[in-house]
Chains A and B, each alone.
Chain A
Amino acid sequence: MKFTMLPRTFAQMFKKPFTNKFPAKYAPASVTGFLKAVGEGKAKMIPPVETPPNFRGKIQYDKESCIGCKLCIKVCPTGAIEFKPEDKKIKIYLARCCFCSQCNDICPKDSLSMSNEFLLADTDKYSKDLIVE
């Protein structure tokens, strides 16, 4: 066949687009304004594509069980983890984190775990959302 792509192109015209239009069908003029409207219940947000099980997202830290052994600091490839000597706990800077979950594997007390959260974009790398402690 000379033009093998043509039938597929025509068929595609009657199909639903593959793209998931997150967060809204049309890009909002102001994202913060849109999020505020969602919070007030005025607008509806299209949810993102679901993450699979065992997805490596934002780190969660259980401060109580941490014994301050510093093993996570030893294996962290990016140096995202800081030790706080006064209370022998750690502080994770997510702006540096590469989400490899190596610290989860080495932790002897299982204090660290990966969550499903992946919407971590921020203009300030030291913002409250990007520091786990």
Chain B
Amino acid sequence: MSKGKTKTSYQIPIGPIHPALKEPVQFNFEIEGEKIVDVDIKLGQVHRSIEWAATKRNPVQVLYLAERICGICSYCHPMAFTLATERVAKIEVPERAQYLRIIHQELERICSHVLWAGVAAHEIGFDTVLFLTWQIRETALDLTEYLCGNRITKGITMIGGVRRDITSDMLPYINEKLNLIKGSWEKLRKIFLEDKTFQLRSQGCGVLTKEDALKLCAVGPLARASGVKKDVRIDQPYFSFGDFDIEYMTPDIVTGEVNGDVYDRIIVRLLEVKQSVELIGESIDRMPEGEIVSEPKLVKLLNQLKKIEGEGIGRMEAPRGEVFHYVKYMNAESPYSWKVRAPTYSNVLPWIPMFMGEQIADIPIVAASTDPCMSCTNRVGIVKNGRQSYMTSEQLHHLSVKKTKELMK
């Protein structure tokens, strides 16, 4: 972009730390009037050396380290690491554990997608819906707490299985909560898909075409909203997903067409919440009796993992897309190497075509629409004609609310 050639063109840096971004990442927007004409993305502000720390710990300790990569994906990271480790150690997972793993994964997906729906509503200035989604998420979190012992950090993963079983006396509570989520889902669907405010702000906004999604390797709901049929659960079934008849959730199921805009992403995530609730119910019905972990004696397991050699990968469909873990063992107590590729990494480049031609007030909702991982504070710096001023989250939020109000007129 030729800087300063046109009089109207100026730059807005957003990030590295900003409420609309959820993750420390820096955007440099080239703005012409209200329109975004160019965007540059800088990554790498949140390196925590987690992968290095893993090489100083034994595999059981790494599970809890992996859990803390992300607060919302606190299940899929340790589980992807477990899948990779099990592949190296050639551990067979009992069938009951496979079904239990599906239940926990889908529960995490419900929490994550409902949370995202609330954040999206907040970003366009519709805070009433934020509180409604939080009410639904609370139900899902209560169920998580009941099954795992805690709300966010589940601590349910174990190499060779899971740590807690679902007994028959727990079923009434689980069914009650699942029915509650199902009932609330219908309300949520009405609000998100029929309300004028959402349609005004999200239709035709942040468009990602199917070609761009394929070219830039988008993953997860973002890719599916653009019409790319991509889902690890179906493409390369892990756990017991091979036994289930899962469909690719694309927006044409509801609207009959694929636009690849923010509205389509809302549809995809809502459909996936419904799909997850059905999957949990089905897994509970089909779960066979048996062991929940292949090696209940932890000491024996640790000794076994000490002697393994080789490398393995773990792939999973996390709420945000495909998560990929690579791990290498070299006959030692701790892994020799560990590499994590979170889904947001693949969803960074698709941001560029999505931002092009949008307005400044659309930045929060477009950035949030890929559901990047969280970590937030406030402040935007605006550099205009060499002078620098700061824009707080409240001001940017206000700008977004103002745009909604203008559209409503």
A-to-B contact residues, CB < 8 Å: 1-5, 8-9, 18, 51-56, 71, 74-78, 98-102, 105-106, 114
Interchain CB contact under 8 A, B150 and A56: yes
Interchain CB contact under 8 A, B155 and A54: no
Residues of chain B within 8 A of A98, CB atoms compared: 64, 153
Taking A5-B195, A71-B299 as contacts, is the C-beta distance between A100 and B155 under 8 angstroms?
yes
The residue from A4, A5, A54, A75 contacting B61, defined by CB atoms under 8 A apart: A75
Closest beta carbon of chain A to B237's beta carbon, Å: 29
Residues of chain A within 8 A of B187, CB atoms compared: 8
Q: Which of B128-136, B210-218, B318-326 contacts A (4 or more CB under 8 A)?
A: B128-136
Taking A18-B135, A55-B145, A76-B61 as contacts, is the C-beta distance between A3 and B195 under 8 angstroms?
yes
A18 to B191 alpha-carbon distance, docked (Å): 21
Which has the most chain A C-beta neighbours within 10 Å: B62, B65, B150?
B150
Would you list which residues of chain B between 119 and 169 have a CB under 8 Å from chain A? 126, 128-129, 132, 135, 138, 142, 145-146, 149-150, 153, 155, 163-164
Residues of chain B within 8 A of A4, CB atoms compared: 190-191, 194-195
Pick 25 A–B contacts, CB within 8 A, sort by A: A1-B195, A2-B195, A2-B196, A4-B190, A4-B191, A4-B194, A4-B195, A5-B126, A9-B128, A18-B135, A18-B138, A52-B149, A55-B149, A56-B149, A56-B155, A74-B58, A75-B302, A77-B63, A77-B64, A99-B155, A100-B64, A101-B149, A101-B155, A105-B298, A106-B298
Residues of chain A within 8 A of B298, CB atoms compared: 71, 75, 105-106
Which has the most chain A C-beta neighbours within 10 Å: B126, B163, B298?
B298
A52 to B143 alpha-carbon distance, docked (Å): 10
Q: Which residue of B lies closest to A106 (CB)?
A: B298
Closest beta carbon of chain B to A120's beta carbon, Å: 14
A54 to B197 alpha-carbon distance, docked (Å): 43
Residues of chain A within 8 A of B126, CB atoms compared: 5
A77 to B81 alpha-carbon distance, docked (Å): 15
Interchain CB contact under 8 A, A5 and B191: yes
Q: Which residue of A lies closest to B190 (CB)?
A: A4
A4 to B197 alpha-carbon distance, docked (Å): 10
Would you list which residues of chain B between 27 and 63 have a CB under 8 Å from chain A? 57-58, 60-63
Residues of chain B within 8 A of A101, CB atoms compared: 149, 155
Interchain CB contact under 8 A, A77 and B194: no
Closest beta carbon of chain A to B195's beta carbon, Å: 5
Which has the most chain A C-beta neighbours within 10 Å: B65, B187, B299?
B299
The residue from A18, A56, A99, A106 contacting B299, defined by CB atoms under 8 A apart: A106
A79 to B138 alpha-carbon distance, docked (Å): 32
Q: Told that A75-B60, A98-B153, A101-B155 touch, could you supply 14 new A-B pairs with CB distance under 8 A?
A: A2-B196, A3-B195, A8-B128, A52-B149, A53-B146, A55-B150, A74-B58, A75-B298, A76-B61, A99-B150, A99-B153, A100-B155, A102-B60, A105-B298
A6 to B63 alpha-carbon distance, docked (Å): 45
Residues of chain A within 8 A of B196, CB atoms compared: 2-3
Would you list which residues of chain B between 306 and 345 have a CB under 8 Å from chain A? none
